Structure 1
Amino acid sequence: MEKLPIHTGETHGASQEPRWMAPQKRPRRAIFLRRVFIVFCFLAGYYMLIRPRSTQCMSPECAPCDTSKCLAPGQSTGGSIGFAAQNHEHEQAKISQDPITSQSNESTRIPLEAHIMSKCPDAQGCLQKLILPAMEQISDKVDFRLSFIASVSKETSDIQCMHGPAECIGNMLMLCAANLPFPPTSDRSLLPQNYPRTPIIRSLGFANCLINDYTRIPDRGLVHQCALEHGIDFDALNQCASQQSDAPDDGQRGKSPLSGIALLRHNALHSEHLDVHTSCTVRLDDSVWCIHDGGVWKTCAQDGEGSKPQVLADEIKRLWQERN
């Protein structure tokens, strides 16, 4: 009986290997690259479908031009002071934008005021040895105000400062910083009368930065550095302090509604009305708490213990508890 051949090709010997054992030709490079590209596209599309989406900061605190509001918890923009209540700045911005809430909260805060001269060494000691250490504990419980001492002429528009015109400029810079709109706005002429102002953690930090090197006031480099460290709009600050009129708008749209000379005049008259003439005079709850004059603490409350930050903080906490 005739046997069918296993292989259709010719047999060259008993040791010849079958076709399935013969080496196969590899696909060409173009085919290989095409397959790699297809796999890459598939993986990329899959990643786009499952990747987590980033959440945009839409909170009112994350306002334009204020990147410090979107910092991670515990992160800081840097500066010479750091209050224990880091969220106090956020709360101040919220309160000031709501007139009803603002009136409710301000009525329960304890008035705390420091009357100073910007180029006075006693002002430096007063802020750094008493006010700032105390504010680290009670910044959310006080309505703090930084006021200035100067001589206002009743016959002319002149204002005289004890340490010269440079001190008047320093006073105006600190007042302007405290009264700039917050968050910053490009068209300050459209601001309402009661607009939210710079949080105290920024304006007081800026003032302390200047006073820390008070002999250089009003050096442009110092002012720019302090403004940058504490998030103050330098251009707006410069425009406010440079105003030579008590009515800066003069009916012209687009100019700053703030005048440094007007702020200083009003503020100095306030100190004069209270019969405060010594830098630095600290007033708590509308009464003199302590005076720092000639490098010495004088007439301090609590039998002279009022110059200690903890004593001041404890008294503010006591008053706060009584009224809340």
Structure 2
Amino acid sequence: MGRRSDGGSAVVVGQGDKSTGTEGSLLENRPEDRSSNRKVPLEAHIMSKCPDAQACLQQLVVPAMEQISDKVDFGLSFIANVSSGSSEIKCKHGPGECVGDMIILCAANLPFPPDGSDDGAKTPTIRSLGFANCLIGEYEDIPGRPLVEKCAAQHGIDFDALNRCASNQDDDPNDPDKLSGLALLRKSALRSAKLKAGISCTVRLNESVWCVRDGGVWKDCVKGGKASEVSVLVEEVNRLYDEEN
């Protein structure tokens, strides 16, 4: 059994609110593509309360996904310290960040539609990314309940189901009937560590580092340093997709 370091109800830590928020601009009503074509792996490793994660999503990931979401297998992974000697998970920006990470992971893994009528289907990627972008757009207020409720409403996420998942203390990632934010975060953080993605934000394309946002600047970007440009990422995804299909 794992334990959280914050100790409270997952989405009610902090009560700050803002009247305006990041509106979802993604094409969320487009059905999830289930074709047999091979999609290009695209992943962003982030921390939910990190300003570089905010810039990375807003300047590169989200604008690119609006154009190539049907051609990529996209995922958000999180960076946190998973102790080998205890069950505790520590996040760089404090316990509230761990909660924020769990909330975003829960949103991506909830059944969709919520009634489970489409057996095994999870929240469409474009919808869960929109939710994550909404939260991280106001990362200072993560994990305040008003922000989470607002973003959930904007992006069609079941708030009650989200709260149950993020509040679940069960740290068993192999129990599909008890979706747990704690278990999801542990699995995600271990993945980031295994891939040596320790900087928020690290963007990986086709299993290789594409570009890194760190300290307010882009660095370690391929394509002659131009990989932070949306058009360059879109062009490369299209090229890789066409090669494989």
CA separation in 2, counterparts of 1:249 and 1:175?
15
CA separation in 2, counterparts of 1:287 and 1:82?
25
What is the aligned counterpart of 1:91 among 11, 29, 32? Answer: 32
Q: Does 1:295 align with 2:216?
A: yes
How far residue 157 of structure 1 moved from its aligned partner, in angstroms, is 0.7
In the other structure, the counterpart of 1:80 is 24
CA RMSD of aligned residues (A): 2.2
TM-score by length of structure 1 reads 0.66
State how 1:220-239 maps to structure 2 within 5 Å: 220-239=145-164
Contact kept, 8 Å, 1:182 with 1:197, in 2: the verdict is: yes
Change (3 A) 1:301 1:237: same
Counterpart AA for 2:181: G
In the other structure, the counterpart of 2:104 is 174
In the other structure, the counterpart of 2:16 is none
Higher helix share: 1
Change (3 A) 1:223 1:156: same
User: Higher relative contact order at CA 8 Å, sep ≥6: structure 1 or structure 2?
Assistant: 2
How far residue 191 of structure 1 moved from its aligned partner, in angstroms, is 9.5
Q: What 5-or-longer segments of structure 1 have no aligned partner?
A: 1-77, 96-100
How far residue 81 of structure 1 moved from its aligned partner, in angstroms, is 1.9
In the other structure, the counterpart of 1:317 is 238
SS of match in other structure, 1:311? helix
Q: Does 1:135 align with 2:60?
A: no
How far residue 197 of structure 1 moved from its aligned partner, in angstroms, is 0.3
In the other structure, the counterpart of 2:229 is 308
What is the aligned counterpart of 1:213 among 138, 155, 173? Answer: 138
Q: Deviations over 1:129-171 (max 9, x none)?
A: 0001111111110000000000001111100000000000000
In the other structure, the counterpart of 1:264 is 185
Change (3 A) 1:256 1:225: farther
What is the aligned counterpart of 1:283 among 184, 196, 204? Answer: 204
Percent sequence identity is: 60
CA separation in 1, counterparts of 2:172 and 2:209?
33
CA separation in 2, counterparts of 1:136 and 1:302?
21
In the other structure, the counterpart of 1:163 is 93
CA separation in 2, counterparts of 1:316 and 1:110?
7
Q: What 5-or-longer segments of structure 2 have no aligned partner?
A: 1-21
SS of match in other structure, 2:213? strand
Counterpart AA for 1:262: A
Q: Deviations over 1:232-265 (max 9, x none)?
A: 0000000000011113999xxxx95200000000
Contact kept, 8 Å, 2:40 with 2:241, in 1: the verdict is: yes
CA separation in 2, counterparts of 1:271 and 1:175?
14
Larger Rg: 1
